[in-house]
Amino acid sequence: MTIIINYNLGNPKSIQNMLAYLGIESRISANHEDIASADRLILPGVGHFQRGMEQLEQLGLIDVLMKEVLENKKPILGICLGMQLLTKHSEEGNLAGLGFIDAQTKKFELKDVTLKVPHMGWNTVEFKKDSPMNTGVSTNPRYYFVHSYFVDCANQDDILCATQYGKEFVSGFQYQNIFGLQFHPEKSHKFGMELLVNFCKI
Amino acid sequence: MALQPRIIPVLLLHKGGLYKTKQFKNPTYVGDPINAVRIFNEKEVDELLILDIDCSKENKEPNYTLIEEIVSEAFMPVGYGGGISSLAIAQKVFQLGVEKVIINTAFQNNQQLLADIAAIYGAQAVVASIDYKKGFIGGTKAYFTNGAKKSGHAPHEIAQIAEKAGAGEIILNAIDREGTYQGFDINLLQQIVEAVQIPVVVSGGASTNADFDAAKQAGASGMAAGSMFVYQRPHNAVLISYPTNYFYL
């Protein structure tokens, strides 16, 4: 069972809709037992980093996530804010994150003033390595992005893919069982479906 | 490099069906909205806008069941407008799987609503829709409640107020051009793009792909169209089409 973690932020329903369309069973839940017995976890999210961490804390999810992801090596996919929450720190609210990957979340400060922030719309990615996540994906995929902050990985080896917006930034990472995507696969047609199908095979 | 603009089909809901208007009038039945969304989904549209044209007029809440059914198979970003008159209603709509809410009528008397929604869901989730008409005297003015109520403000003034109030995006609707295939109002688009920092989507009058090029040139972040995507000319027979990957080929 794939558990989509419900921490009152973002759009777990959209992810479940796509998984259901793909014939993949999932449950939206904040229940600790569900998380403990899950095959894999998806951490969705749209919104403010600080609010995200507060909600995870209030729901008592931080310890159970640490146990399942770091000790039991359960695959986890953070999407958008969910990806950023997996990092060590964010400039949004100047706050510590879950720290499951050696990375920082930083604000876009672009020299080109014609580029708007948030980075919102469809953009392309360049895959930097082969991982179970991007096996057999379409050539020239495009994905839907909406974000004002981006992830900066300390280790180049963790970068799954990168995107150009004023500069190159990390649009996906993978470190062991820990995956993050800055864009929304659940809102990216077949391109997103390919990634979610791959993740749900891990 | 700047992002490619989004090409956005606009679907109008009326009495639970999919309708198309001309200059905001004479709703004509087009078909079943769920079926239309399914086709747009197959065509991999960049984004979809769904506007319920009854809610504000009849002062009723959105048709949650229909929205839920529509978004359950919409694998692209979806914006919904119509009857978003409180934070609680907006929250209900977001929970169904909608990414953006579109505010027009509530903007007149409750600008705080934009800020309240933005505080929780982010500014990118709040779209201010500005409908406008050119007048014989007194110039171009913004309208509310489906074009029924004239405001004292020019569109660029409303756009700036909306940006200040917390909107993350503007949709500009030329009432006079809607459903007429005259092309977008490029002059006004340019004026609004210069007046605000947030993305601007232009709507009303789209006829050919050349209109999308012109709007891109003028700085639009998106172009919305209804008739062009649901009708086949010359007789406006219902036929759904969409220029998939237009800016990516």
CATH classification of the domain holding B145: 3.20.20.70
Q: Residue B227 domain-assigned? A: yes
Task: Flag if B3 and A119 touch (Cβ within 8 Å).
Answer: yes
**A1 in contact with B at a CB cutoff of 8 Å?**
no
pLDDT in tens, A46-99: 888 998 999 999 999 999 999 999 999 999 999 999 999 999 999 998 999 999
Cα(A87)–Cα(A76) distance, integer angstroms: 13
Q: What is the pLDDT of residues B180-218, one digit of tens each?
A: 999 999 999 999 999 999 999 999 999 999 999 999 999
- Which chain B residue is nearest to residue A18, measuring alpha carbons? B75
How many C-beta atoms surround the C-beta of residue A138 within 10 A? 9
Residue identified by tokens 């996919």 is A77
Confidence tier at B135 by pLDDT (50, 70, 90): confident
- Cα gap A26→B127, rounded to integer Å: 31
| A-contacting residues in B 177-196 (Cβ below 8 Å) | none
Q: Share the mean pLDDT of chain B.
A: 93
The active-site residue, picked from B52, B54, B131, B211, is B131
pLDDT number for residue B136: 78
> Which residues 26-55 of chain A have a CB within 8 Å of chain B?
46-48, 51
pLDDT at A110: 87
Classify residue B248: in a domain, yes or no: no
Q: Model-level pTM greater than 0.90? A: yes
Domains identified in chain A and CATH numbers:
2-199 (3.40.50.880)
Q: Nearest CA of chain A to the CA of B188: how many Å?
A: 19
CB A193 within 8 A of CB A201: no
Q: Is B27 on the interface with A (CB under 8 A)?
A: no
pLDDT of residue B137: 75
Task: Please indicate, yes or no, if residue B79 is contained in any of the structural domains.
Answer: yes
Give, to the nearest 10 degrees, the angle between helix A12-21 and helix A189-199: 90
Instruction: With respect to residue B209, please indicate whether it lies within any of the assigned structural domains.
Output: yes
Is the model's pLDDT at A134 over the cut of 80?
yes
**pLDDT of residue B109 exceeding 90:** no
Check CB contact under 8 Å for B76 and A188: yes
pLDDT higher than 70, residue B1: no
The total number of structural domains in chain B stands at 1
pLDDT > 70? residue B35: yes
Estimate the share of chain A in helix, then strand, then coil, as percent rounded to the nearest 5: 30, 30, 35
As a whole number of angstroms, the distance between CA A196 and CA A140 comes to 17
Q: Does residue A149 register a pLDDT over 90?
A: yes
Which residue in the set A11, A13, A18 is minimally distant from B75, CB to CB?
A: A18
Residue B249 falls within a domain, yes or no?
Answer: no
Structure confidence at residue B148 as a pLDDT band (50, 70, 90): confident
Q: Which residues of B touch A187 (CB under 8 A)?
A: 75-77, 99
Closest chain A residue by Cα to residue B198: A116
| B246 domain-assigned | no
| pLDDT reported for residue A115 | 87
Q: Per the domain annotation, does B247 fall within a domain? A: no
Q: Would the CB atoms of A115 and B2 count as touching at under 8 Å?
A: yes
Among candidate residues B129, B124, B120, B46, the one with its CA nearest the CA of residue B84: B129
Please choose, from the candidates A12, A121, A70, the residue with its C-alpha nearest in 3D space to the C-alpha of residue B95. Answer: A12
Please name the residue of chain B whose CA is at the shortest distance from the CA of residue A123: B3
Q: Which domain holds residue B109?
A: 7-238
B2 within a domain of the structure (yes/no): no
Average pLDDT of chain A to the nearest whole number:
95
Taking a C-beta distance cutoff of 8 angstroms, is the pair A195, A160 a contact? no
Q: What is the mean pLDDT of residues A143-148?
A: 94
Specify the pLDDT at position B146. Answer: 85
Q: Give catalytic residues of A, as residue numbers.
A: 80, 184, 186
B197: how many CB neighbours lie within 10 A of its CB? 10
Complex ipTM tops 0.85: yes
Q: Tell whether A106 is within 8 A of chain B (Cβ).
A: no
CB B147 within 8 A of CB B140: no
pLDDT over 90, % of chain B: 82
Average the pLDDT over B211-226 and give the result. Answer: 97
Percent of chain B at pLDDT exceeding 70: 99
Q: Out of B4, B125, B198, whose CB is closest to A122? A: B4
Q: Residue B170: name the closest of B214, B133, B126 by CA.
A: B126
Quick one: average pLDDT of A167-186?
97
- Rounded Cα–Cα distance for residues A121 and A143 (Å): 8
